[in-house]
Amino acid sequence: MTDRPVVLIAEELSPATVEALGPDFEIRSCNGADRSELLAAIADVDAILVRSATKVDAEALAAAKRLKVVARAGVGLDNVDVKAATQSGVMVVNAPTSNIVSAAELAVALMLAAARHVSPAHAALKEGEWKRSKYSGIELYEKTVGIVGLGRIGVLVAQRLSAFGMNVIAYDPYVQAGRAAQMGVRLVDLDTLLAEADFMSVHLPKTPETIGLIGADQLAKARPSLVLVNAARGGIVDEAALYDALKTGRIAAAGLDVFAKEPCTDSPLFELENVVATPHLGASTDEAQEKAGIAVAKSVRLALAGELVPDAVNVQGGVIAEDVRPGIPLTEKLGQVFTGVAGEVAQQLDVEVRGEITDHDVKVLELAALKGVFSSVVEDQVSYVNAPLLAAERGIAVRLVTEPESPDHRNLITLRGTLADGSQVSVSGTLVGIAQRERLVEVNGYDVDIEPTDHLAFFTYTDRPGMVGTVGQILGQAQVNIASMQVARDAKGGQALVALSVDSAIPAETLDEIESAIDATSIRAVDLA
């Protein structure tokens, strides 16, 4: 027996991982893919380190009586039930930046392979066929490449392709043009990118807004010479539409590392000679695995020492006042609502904290706000450690403002930002009652009182009779159930705001119908799921 914390390594990890843990822990190993072995081994451990084969679900968490940390040595968390872990008070950490160089390099590799027909030429040669004339390709030099999503990986791809002598343009509604220009990148809208690009590389997060973003309509606007690469997330490019575009010569070629459903071993796309495909190898390098292992080992050390863990994706460790802790998830949701309402990232953002909690250090709330602001903006996993860097990279000035006086609420957290056109957006929230229930209490100066549930919507229009009924009728026809509704206005017959909490995401066509029916000046849906 030992009084040292026990760390269970459930899959083969880089030797550097154990070295980074150091001598302060009892290290055990098991085959996490063997369910019975895992459930027995996890019963009395303090932390578990996994990759992708081990499923840490509600059953495993229930069996782990002492578990404090689940560490995923990689970026994705598909095999970890984060919600169940949070309910169990178990911290989940990952390594959000471990694979960015590897992912960027693979995107470039796929682009080169597709441009030069490497896969079919290689297959033909293995069959004893020498087909030099058939597989004549194109150069990247002096061509235009469109980067869809200028986050960390997108920036790395842009830098590497600039070195090939390419003209780099990008579509990212959350990046300021000045910041892009500093990198030698011209920001354009998606239609312009499709019209101008000879090559295109996708680097967006997978969200309800980005699923199917590149579909038949978009591919119809592309050049016939387009080479499209997706090494980000499956589903952002509509695979059926892509197949049709490639099959009919609507576009020239594609390089794919990700698919809507994985593992994917049977796709019509694999039948096409103008497709080069890999089985989600973006993070599959020795260097990425070593970086991931070292990163999560450091997070485990911090967590088990009771210190703040920057890469935690759910509950936070560290010396944070008990009165401040309930405000962290609320502030993160306010960040998500702010970005959803604004439709872009602010040039300047103030995180205003008022009330009794300002007696404590509330710096963590600024970090939580930034984490929420960027959660649906970038393809990276956003954490407390990289959120300020994401703001700095985009030239966003961030300020924490504290004020002990709070006239209307015991504590109030407000995110107030200035957009590129000089307009302002604000959202405010508070915690109510002994249960500390989260409430959204202000949006753009309108007083509301609504729970920040998974699916929200905000409609601004000219105040007149019948509009609320119209909204309800259209949502009813779309089978979208309203959980709660708030109406606020600046004056009788002036501008009014409807704030909605609904049970399911509102389809885009339904939002368009509502916008037209009430002649809305602004219509925004926000997904906090």
The DSSP line for 22-77 is -TTSEEEE--TTSHHHHHHHTTT-SEEEE-SS--B-HHHHHH-SS--EEEESSS--
Per-residue pLDDT at 275: 98
Instruction: Note whether 1-95+285-319 and 100-277 share their fold.
Output: yes
- Average the pLDDT over 120-130 and give the result: 95
Other residues' Cβ atoms within 10 Å of the Cβ of residue 439: 17
Q: How far is CA 398 from CA 348, 351, 417, 523, in A?
A: 6, 8, 9, 26
- Average the pLDDT over 242-263 and give the result: 97
Pairing of strands 167-171, 186-187: parallel
Q: What is the three-class DSSP state of 327? A: helix
Contact 24, 30 (CB under 8 A): no
Q: Is 66 a catalytic residue?
A: no
Per-residue pLDDT at 490: 84
Quote the CA–CA distance of 243 and 326 in Å, as a whole number: 48
Characterise 396 by phi-psi region: left (phi > 0), alpha (psi -120 to 50), beta (else).
Answer: beta
Contact 332, 429 (CB under 8 A): no
Q: Which residue has the higher pLDDT, 215 or 420?
A: 215
Q: Is 262 a catalytic residue?
A: yes
Per-residue pLDDT at 312: 84
Per-residue pLDDT at 45: 96
- Average the pLDDT over 411-435 and give the result: 93
Degrees, nearest 5: CA angle 424-429-434? 170
- Give the residue extent of every domain in the chain: 1-95+285-319, 100-277
> What would the DSSP string read from start to end of 169-206?
EEE-TTS-HHHHHHTT-EE--HHHHHHH-SEEEE----
Quote the CA–CA distance of 431 and 323 in Å, as a whole number: 11
pLDDT band of residue 383 (cuts 50, 70, 90) is low
pLDDT at 140 over 70: yes
Which tokens in the block code for residue 300? 């485990």
Which tokens in the block code for residue 8? 């269970």
pLDDT at 315 over 70: no
6 phi, psi to nearest 5 deg = -100, 125
Q: Which tens digits make up the pLDDT trace of 271-284?
A: 999 999 999 999 89
With tokens 């860097």, the residue in question is 389
pLDDT band of residue 117 (cuts 50, 70, 90) is very high
Per-residue pLDDT at 316: 59
What residues does 170 pair with on adjacent strands? 147, 187
- Name the percent of the chain lying above pLDDT 70: 97
Quote the CA–CA distance of 443 and 447 in Å, as a whole number: 7
Which tokens in the block code for residue 197? 């690009």
pLDDT at 2 over 60: no
- Average the pLDDT over 287-307 and give the result: 90
Q: Which residue has the higher pLDDT, 509 or 207?
A: 509
Q: Which tens digits make up the pLDDT trace of 428-486?
A: 999 998 888 999 999 999 999 999 999 999 999 999 999 999 999 999 999 999 999 98
DSSP 8-class letter at 382: P
Per-residue pLDDT at 385: 60
Quote the CA–CA distance of 7 and 19 in Å, as a whole number: 13
- Average the pLDDT over 46-56 and give the result: 94
Q: Which residue has the higher pLDDT, 407 or 102?
A: 102
pLDDT at 381 over 70: no
pLDDT band of residue 75 (cuts 50, 70, 90) is confident
pLDDT band of residue 380 (cuts 50, 70, 90) is low
What residues does 462 pair with on adjacent strands? 495
Put simply, whether the predicted model's pTM sits higher than 0.75 gets the answer: no
Q: Which tens digits make up the pLDDT trace of 8-49?
A: 999 999 899 999 998 999 999 999 999 999 999 999 999 999
Which of 305, 354, 303 is CA-nearest to residue 327?
Answer: 354
Q: What is the CA radius of gyration of the chain?
A: 25
Per-residue pLDDT at 422: 92
Q: How far is CA 17 from CA 14, 225, 303, 358, in A?
A: 5, 45, 16, 39
Q: Which tens digits make up the pLDDT trace of 160-174?
A: 999 999 999 999 988
Kindly report the CATH number that applies to the domain delimited by 100-277.
3.40.50.720
pLDDT at 1 over 90: no
- Average the pLDDT over 98-114 and give the result: 96
pLDDT at 389 over 80: no
End-to-end alpha carbon distance in the chain: 43
Per-residue pLDDT at 443: 96
pLDDT band of residue 319 (cuts 50, 70, 90) is low
- Helix or strand (DSSP H, E) at 37: helix 35-41
Residue type, 213: L
- Average the pLDDT over 295-314 and give the result: 85
- From the list 19, 139, 142, 262, the catalytic residue is 262
Which tokens in the block code for residue 312? 């935690």
Quote the CA–CA distance of 68 and 488 in Å, as a whole number: 44
pLDDT at 424 over 80: yes
Mean pLDDT for all residues in the chain: 92
Contact 23, 4 (CB under 8 A): no
- From the list 233, 301, 354, 416, the catalytic residue is 233
Other residues' Cβ atoms within 10 Å of the Cβ of residue 66: 12
Q: Which tens digits make up the pLDDT trace of 360-377?
A: 889 889 988 998 999 888
Per-residue pLDDT at 69: 94
Per-residue pLDDT at 317: 60
Which of 60, 114, 113, 119 is CA-nearest to residue 90?
Answer: 60
Contact 52, 289 (CB under 8 A): no
Which of 68, 54, 57 is CA-nearest to residue 13?
Answer: 54
Assigned fold of 1-95+285-319 = Rossmann fold (3.40.50)
Residues 6+ apart with CB under 8 A from 370: 335, 349, 382, 387, 388, 390, 391, 398
Per-residue pLDDT at 226: 98
- From the list 51, 280, 301, 394, the catalytic residue is 280
